[in-house]
Amino acid sequence: MGVTKLKKAELYYHKSVQEKVAEILQASGVCQLIESSGQEAPPSELEERLATSEEQLSHVRYLTRTLAGYYVDPVSSLDRVLGEKPIVSLSELEALAKQTDLSQAVDKVKERELSLNGLRMDMTQLRADEVTLLAMQAFPYPLSILTEGTQTVAGVSGTVKSDQLDSFKETLEPYDRDIELVVSQDFPKASTAQVAILYSRVIGPELLELLPRSGMTLMELSPSFKRTAKEELARVLSVQKETLTKEEQIADELRAIADEWMPTVQKLSDYWISLSNRYRAFCASDETGRTLRTLFWVPEESVASLQKEIEAVAPTTALFLSDPGPDDSPPSRLENGELIRPFNILTNLYSSPAYGQTDPTPLLAPFFFVFFGMSLGDAGYALVVGGAIALLFRKYRKIPAAVKDFILLFAFCTVSTLIYGIISGSFFGDFIDVFLKPLAPIKNLFVLVDPMKDPMQVLGISLLLGIIHLMFGLLIAAYDNIRTQNYLDALGDNISWFLLIVGLCLFGASVGGMVSEDVGLTGKIMSVIGTLLVFWYAGREKKGILSKIFSGLLALYGVTGYLGDILSYSRLLALGFGSAVIGMIINLLGGMSASIPYVGWLVAVIVIAGGHLFSILVNILGAFVHPLRLQYVEFFGKFYSGGGTPYTPLSLSREYVNIAQPAGEA
């Protein structure tokens, strides 16, 4: 439990074995390399290798990205994440990388990508031409008269708003002898009319200046239009067809390239990612003559086996281990037992604890477990989610650890959901009461709380859980302060508030008749002591009695913050209620649609199954986000600040293939 103890390792080795050593450290997957303290340039050989592997990696990335749309991966993305991967050894990959010239594939793909882009641009132009020509269909003469004109006549085309057409015609009346106006009204948008004007070149300049002012929007025609609009349209359409065929051809070629190359590219992807990660990390090594020095963090428990592996391949190395010093900032790896480990995700989502700080995971886990259960709160939903997870685990036997933990987190939370669903009598909402009446008495046997009938009871439970959660947070803060010998802070900042709030609650409970008067009196005394402590702590460094009193009062105002925090837990009622009512609505709709003649039962089944599935997804999101917020804002706010660096050891990339340990190869 807590944060793993790390050792700072200092490894000296001869350059001749550097590849082997690097391989061992990376394959072990437990060493996090440290940036070297010296500002020297990285060893030049390593830099070269890094450059090569990054170049290859950029090829891999380009191919994966560009060919993604043309490649049907035989492995589904779910299988990719959860399933077993082919086992390949590092030396096999190395051989594959040597005989594969990725740049060849890149050139092939780039060439086709370029011509595709060209074709697509052509297509855009052709589509625009098509629209223009469609609008010009009424124009009776060859279009060359508009695009080129003759010696004496030229033309111009454009659009005029339909309602301005009459006034536009009027403006042109004085030129009646020198122009011919062709109007086609049925231009796609009825609000505009397509017009073309043929005019004598003599009045050209005058007219071209007048037209835009009188409401005509001039339109440039493509100079390639020569024949009539009809003939040109036919030409454009046939060119469009050709272009599409060419595009399809190139797409086919890309598909063929993808089929040929992608399996190799995927394997090499893992290889080159691993190698560039390796060299980037090892660039931090120091170089002295023929030896290299590499610094890294390694968990105490892995030291022995690592040392053995290194010695097996390179006997002439020296490994020095030390504990983290005051100037070091070691990364933190959360180390928790089977039951708590999945909850590590929640802590890491917020921020890893600084090395040596308390790991909050085991502290938040039980609360998250309960809160999630209350928020989703439906036994039926729990069974569906649990069943889905069980199927996943049956199908995939070797799920990668990180993904497995994430699934396990939900698996655990379905347990609390199931329990809360049973004691609150919610099974797919009120499914049992509506459709399975005879089973209702069995369900009712286990019902302890009923948010539908008595929401105040569940509200009370929610707030009580909130108080417990918050007070637990305060006690942890007090413990942390005592551990670091800040006794004053523990007393004035944590214990004082604990006494004050717990005291007030006990007092309130005795007024409400829930506990005996003696307990109420204890509560009263506790809250008075708490108040005095808060008062004293806030004013302890102030001079003068007035400013002491003032800062004390100000500190006591913080009680509203606690009130807000506690009320925040009312969301547990609201969310659980939400799932129950949405479930009820779905059953109601299902019941109503069952009365449709003939197909009613089918509609009902679809509505109920689809509706509950939707409800599960929406409510899981809510049941995850809100309890998480209660941890992060209300709970962590009391004692936890995070701020550590996560432990991200150098390891092999295993997205597509499972790179085997190289140890056996030597």
Partner 1 sequence: MDLLGISLALFGAALATALAGIGSAIGIQVAGTSAAGVMTEDPDKFASCLILQALPGTQGIYGLLITFFVLNKLGLLGGGGAVAINWNQGLQIFAACMPVALVGWISAIHQGKTSAASIQMIAKKPEAMGKAIILPAMVETYAVLALLTSILMLMGVQV
Phi, psi of 636 (to 5 degrees): -60, -30
d(CA 394, CA 660): 24
Which stretch, 54-62, 551-559, 572-580, 654-662, contacts partner 1 (CB under 8 A)? 572-580
Among 390, 633, 641, 655, binds partner 1 (CB under 8 A): 633
Q: How far is the CB of 28 from partner 1 (least distance, A)?
A: 23
Which stretch, 81-89, 125-133, 421-429, 586-594, contacts partner 1 (CB under 8 A)? 586-594
Query: Closer CB to partner 1, residue 156 or residue 458?
Result: 458
Which stretch, 126-134, 188-196, 327-335, 570-578, contacts partner 1 (CB under 8 A)? 570-578
List the x/- string, 404-443, binding to partner 1 by CB under 8 A. Answer: ----------------------------------------
563 binds partner 1 (CB under 8 A): no
- Asked if 102 and 202 touch (Cβ cutoff 8 Å), the reply is no
d(CA 494, CA 639): 9
Among 154, 584, 608, 659, binds partner 1 (CB under 8 A): 584
625 binds partner 1 (CB under 8 A): yes
Among 187, 369, 372, 577, binds partner 1 (CB under 8 A): 577
Query: Closer CB to partner 1, residue 346 or residue 505?
Result: 346
CB atoms under 10 Å from CB of 372, counted, come to 27
Phi, psi of 211 (to 5 degrees): -55, -50
632 binds partner 1 (CB under 8 A): yes
583 binds partner 1 (CB under 8 A): no
Number of helical (H) and strand (E) elements in the chain, helices listed first: 25, 11
Separation of CA 37 from chain center: 35
Among 588, 594, 660, 663, binds partner 1 (CB under 8 A): 588
Answer positive or negative: Cα dihedral of 558, 559, 562, 568.
Answer: negative
Strand, helix or coil for residue 291: strand
- Asked if 97 and 276 touch (Cβ cutoff 8 Å), the reply is no
Query: Closer CB to partner 1, residue 83 or residue 455?
Result: 455
Among 618, 641, 643, 666, binds partner 1 (CB under 8 A): 618
User: Which pair of structure tokens corresponds to residue 320?
Assistant: 């020095």
64 binds partner 1 (CB under 8 A): no
Output the CA torsion 259→262→264→265 (10° steps).
Answer: 160
d(CA 183, CA 138): 8
d(CA 429, CA 223): 69
81 binds partner 1 (CB under 8 A): no
Query: Closer CB to partner 1, residue 420 or residue 632?
Result: 632
568 binds partner 1 (CB under 8 A): yes
How many residues does the structure list for the chain?
666
Query: Closer CB to partner 1, residue 73 or residue 130?
Result: 73
Q: How far is the CB of 568 from partner 1 (least distance, A)?
A: 7
455 binds partner 1 (CB under 8 A): yes
Among 81, 621, 655, 665, binds partner 1 (CB under 8 A): 621
Among 383, 581, 603, 660, binds partner 1 (CB under 8 A): 581
CB atoms under 10 Å from CB of 518, counted, come to 9
Residue found under tokens 């290299």: 292
| Burial call 164-194: b when 16+ CB within 10 Å, e when fewer | ebeebeeebeebeebbeebbeeebeeeebbb
Question: For the chain, how big is the Rg over CA atoms in Å?
Answer: 38
Among 349, 554, 563, 599, binds partner 1 (CB under 8 A): 349
Q: Which residues bind partner 1 (CB under 8 A)?
A: 346, 348-350, 455-456, 459, 567-568, 570-571, 573-575, 577-578, 581-582, 584-585, 588, 591-592, 618, 621-622, 625-626, 628-629, 632-633
